[in-house]
Amino acid sequence: CVICLEDVQDADIYTLAECSHKFCSSCVKQHVEATVTTGRTFPVACPQVECTKKFTEGECKKLLSEAALKVFMKKIEEERIPDAERVYCPYPKCSDLMDRRTFLDPNPRKLCGACHRYFCLDCRVPWHTFSTCAGYQRLPLDLKDAADAKLYRLAENQNWRQCKKCRWMIELSEGCYHMTCRCGYEFCYTCGMEYR
C-alpha cells in the first residue's frame, strides 16, 4: 500500500473504480472518513499523488461509518443546491440548510423547518419583528445581533465588501476591482454597485 507502505494481502486491497489505483482497505477508509468529516475537500479525491479522479458516491457510502455517513449525506445535499440558492438557518444551534427556490411566498419572513423559528430570508438573520428589512439594515451595528456586529466591524476594518445579492463577504487580495461573487453577481469592489 503506497499510503502506509505495508505489504497487504490481495483480499485487503481496495481498488478505486475511476482510476484503478490500489490501497489497503483500512487506509482508504481512513482517507475517505477524514476527508468527509474535516470538510477539507469534497468530493473525495483519490489519495494517489497527482491523480485527479474522485471516489464515487457509492464507494464513499460503503466506506464510511454511520456518523461520517450522516455528514457525507448532508454534504451531498448541499452540493446539489447552487451557491446562490443556499440558505442556512441563522440560529447558531440550528444552521439547517434550505433551498431558496423552495420558498414561493415573496414575504421574507420564513419558518425554519428544523428549529421552527422565524428568520428573514433577505437579511439572513433571526426575524426582525419591529423593523422592515431596509430599517434593519440601517440600524447601527450595536443594535443588530452581537455576532453580526463583530463581523461587520471586522469587514469594515479589513475593507471587505458584501455581495448585494447573496450577502457573502468578499476580500480583494489582488487584481482589479471587477468582482464576481460565487453566486455569479458582478460588482465593483470600490463602490459596491453592480458591474456593467
Q: pLDDT tens-digit profile of 22-43?
A: 888 888 888 888 888 876 556 7
- Same-domain pairing of 152 and 168: no
Distance CA 118, CA 121 (A): 9
pLDDT at site 112: 93
Q: How many CB atoms lie within 10 A of CB 189?
A: 17
Helices and strands, counts by H and E, the chain: 5, 11
Which domain, by its residues, includes 181?
159-195
Are 59 and 73 in the same domain?
A: yes
List, in sequence order, every residue forming a beta bridge with 180; answer none if it has no partner: 186
Question: Quick one: 139 and 97 in the same domain?
Answer: yes
Tell me: do 126 and 95 sit in the same domain. yes
Residues 117 and 154 in one domain: yes
Distances in Å between the alpha carbon of 53 and those of 57, 81, 188?
13, 22, 37
List all residues 6 or more positions away from 110 whose beta carbon is below 8 Å from its beta carbon.
103, 118, 119, 120, 121
Q: What does each C-alpha distance from 100 to 14, 17, 90 come to in angstroms?
A: 40, 35, 14
Contacts of 20 (CB under 8 A, 6+ apart): none
90, 78, 83: which is closest to 125 by C-alpha?
A: 90
The reply to whether 62 and 94 lie within a common domain is no
Residue 106: which residues within 8 A CB-CB, separation 6 or more?
Answer: none
Tell me, what's the pLDDT at 142?
60
**Annotated catalytic residue 166:** no
Entry field: residues in the chain:
196
On whether residue 151 sits in a domain, the answer given is yes
Residue that is written with C-alpha cell 454597485 in the block: 193
* pLDDT attached to residue 146: 62
With a cut of 70, which residues of the chain have pLDDT below it? 39-42, 141-143, 145-149
- Give the number of domains in the chain: 3
Given 176, 183, 188, 191, the catalytic residue: 176
- Alpha helices, DSSP H, located in the chain: 25-38, 57-63, 66-79, 133-138, 146-158
What backbone phi and psi angles, to 5 degrees, belong to 161?
-120, 155
Report pLDDT for 67.
84
Same domain, 135 and 153: yes
Tell me the whole-structure pTM to 2 decimals: 0.56
- Pair 15, 30 in one domain: yes
Residues 66 and 88 in one domain: no
Residue 168, pLDDT score: 81
Q: What is the pLDDT of residue 110?
A: 93
